[in-house]
Structure 1
Amino acid sequence: MKILFVADPLESFKTYKDTTFSMMREAARRGHELWACHPADLVWHSGGRVVARQARAITLTGAAHDWFSVVATAELALAEADAVVMRKDPPFDSEYFYATHLLGQAEREGARVFNSPQALRDHPEKLAILEFPQFTPPTLVTRSEAAIRAFHAEHHDIILKPLDGMGGAGIFRVGSDGLNLGAIIETLNKGGAETVMVQRYLPAIKDGDKRVLLIGGQVVPFCLARIPQGGEVRGNLAAGGKGVAQPISARDREIAEALGPILAARGLLLVGLDVIGDRLTEINVTSPTCFQEITEQTGFDVPKMFIDALERALAA
């Protein structure tokens, strides 16, 4: 099977923790053919098909550094791959958006793309939770400074975050004293020009922001609790959080089993739910991670589960 990974430059991968690398390693173990390109390589010309201009066929060397070897470089029509796996990291900016449209055209030409380009556009990672208010903390989405101040007056301790952030970037906590609330609103909403998400602060963050994985609609039985360190309020690994794998709770499973079939039916093969305490805070669909941390700490083979699901989807 020929698998094309659309991803960030391979040279930038930190293979000791990279989820895309773990997918590649498991696919290679099964004898699948690995190809890789960057979204900037995607091209469509009238009368032709969507192609990756500089796609690279690679083999894995097993080394920590120089971890791959390029076997060939060629123009590859996406429809000629058995599977196209979109693994470009956020942010979901204009170029990511345009890439999903090119991937959508490739689907019309016969390509099998995971996650579905349409589903990627329909499930922005902060806003996708709005469909499932029964599982979320009190949440406000607005440009309005007055609305944010009213939300703070009601809930006293709040988290504010930009809709296009990743890795914990741009997240602020404002306590009951309201210190710096005005300056934070100005920073995030750009004078009313940009929309902000506000949520009630969840004290359970001290026990971790849990990443719960859904693969093919099925729940991975272990999650990664990303625990804030020092004086941080953010558990994101990119913000210095400590990742501790643990069995999912009954509430984690309840949320995951409610969302799993719905999201899988929409073409989302891989989803990462963020759960703090018993509340769903985000639904990650662009490039969910934590495969290696969960596998190494628990022995549960998450990459195997993913490639199993990919093979089943292709056989369906």
Structure 2
Amino acid sequence: MKIGIVVNDVDTERPTAATTVIARAMARAGHAVYMIGVGELTYHSDGRISALGRKAPRDGAESQDAFIAAIQQEDWPRTTIQTGDLDVLYLRYNPVEELANRPWEVDAGIVFCQMAVLHGVIVLSHPYTLSYAVNKMYLEQFPESVRPRSIITRSFEEVRRFYEEQDRRIVLKPVRGYGGQDVYLLDRDDTNMKQIVGSLARSSYIIAQEYLPAARDGDIRLFLFNGKPLVVDGKYAALRRVNAEGDFRSNMTAGGKPAKAEITPRILEIAEAVRPRLVADGIFDAGIDIVGDKLVEINAISAGGLNAAGRLEGVDFGPAVVELIERKVEYRRKYGQQLRNRELAVME
């Protein structure tokens, strides 16, 4: 199998990233893996898509550190690949990682991969639905019973009205953002509300969300593949993210620390509630974030933490992900274009 994995920048990939876990597992299984920066794609006038990729060490190297160190060497070979020669293109880049400095990244990988689908390449997740699933507003398309109350607006008056309705305790965050950046808690103190709303509204719509008291205990990230929790040897690919002292956010980039997760019946109930929509949209992998008994976020592209989850559970989840992708390639070989990409992306 030949697979291209699209990341923000190969040179900034980390050994502990979920993408590294999956890419290395692919290479160790004997597949040809090409790491591709989202800025290294080219559309040609005849409709072809090419990419400048770095072929991963065939044996996966001796460790994740060695794997990444190898492909980040200055003299590591760069190979021009025709995406039509690949079996799979796997989107593992964060569209808003450098929104201020590289705004073109937001939809670049998704749009190029939409063209690749037309050439028969399996694209994970389905790029036509990823174009809206990467927006935090995607959460509002899931059952009301599993998500917190929220509004999405740029209006200060609407935010203030919602703040009063929620007993003067709400969370504000941009529709496009990640890692806890520009996320604020208004907890019975509206002194800076106007400034915060004005600042967020300059670059984004704003999500105002009810504050969940359980947030003080952190959250649970559960990894779903093909719409279902990933389980290996009876252990769930999941982790608890524990807030840094004095911070209501649990994001790792905001100082949160990983801990072992307890997967409760309610968490599995939430996972089952979101499954039909994820499957209908062809979302191959997603990280769902749960606070208490509510789903607060769906990360439909490049969800992080799989490496930490594996370390906490004593399981390597990478090979299980590889097996899921291998089956999709086998289905495509048997059925050709009879199976549409959206269906194939979530087919077990």
Measured against the shorter chain, the TM-score band is over 0.9
Counterparts of 2:77 and 2:276 in 1: how far apart (Å)? Answer: 39
Counterparts of 2:80 and 2:170 in 1: how far apart (Å)? Answer: 50
Query: Runs of 5+ in structure 2 lacking a partner?
Result: 231-235, 332-348
Equivalent position SS for 2:179: coil
Alpha-carbon distance, 1:227 to partner: 1.2
1:58 aligns with 2:59: no
1:88 to 70, 88, 93: 93
1:149 aligns with 2:160: yes
1:139 aligns with 2:150: yes
Q: How many percent of aligned residue pairs carry the same amino acid?
A: 29
Contact 2:288-2:298 within 8 A present in 1 as well: yes
1:187-266 equivalent positions in 2, closer than 5 A: 187-190=199-202, 194-220=204-230, 221-266=236-281
Alpha-carbon distance, 1:294 to partner: 0.8
Residue identity matched to 1:40: G
Alpha-carbon distance, 1:71 to partner: 6.5
Alpha-carbon distance, 1:302 to partner: 2.1
Q: Alignment length, in residue pairs?
A: 312
Residue identity matched to 2:319: K
TM-score (norm 1): 0.93
Counterparts of 1:102 and 1:153 in 2: how far apart (Å)? Answer: 44
Residue identity matched to 2:92: R
Alpha-carbon distance, 1:9 to partner: 2.4
**CA offsets 1:176-212 (integer angstroms, 9 cap, x no match):** 132311111111112xx73100101111112212111
Q: Which 10-residue stretch deviates more, 81-90 or 65-74?
A: 65-74
**CA offsets 1:242-288 (integer angstroms, 9 cap, x no match):** 11121311111011112124313322110111111111111111211
1:43 aligns with 2:55: no
Equivalent position SS for 2:78: strand
Q: Which residue of 2 aligns with 1:116?
A: 126
**CA offsets 1:111-139 (integer angstroms, 9 cap, x no match):** 11111111211313411111122211111
* Alpha-carbon distance change, 107 to 307 in structure 1, aligned in 2, over 3 angstroms: same
Equivalent position SS for 1:129: helix
Residue identity matched to 1:173: L
- RMSD (Å) for aligned C-alpha atoms: 1.8
Contact 1:222-1:247 within 8 A present in 2 as well: no
1:172 to 170, 173, 184: 184
TM-score (norm 2): 0.85
Contact 1:79-1:107 within 8 A present in 2 as well: no
Residue identity matched to 2:6: V
Counterparts of 1:233 and 1:56 in 2: how far apart (Å)? Answer: 40
Counterparts of 1:213 and 1:246 in 2: how far apart (Å)? Answer: 12
Counterparts of 1:222 and 1:21 in 2: how far apart (Å)? Answer: 16
**CA offsets 1:82-134 (integer angstroms, 9 cap, x no match):** 11111112307543313311110111011111111112113134111111222
Contact 1:126-1:282 within 8 A present in 2 as well: yes
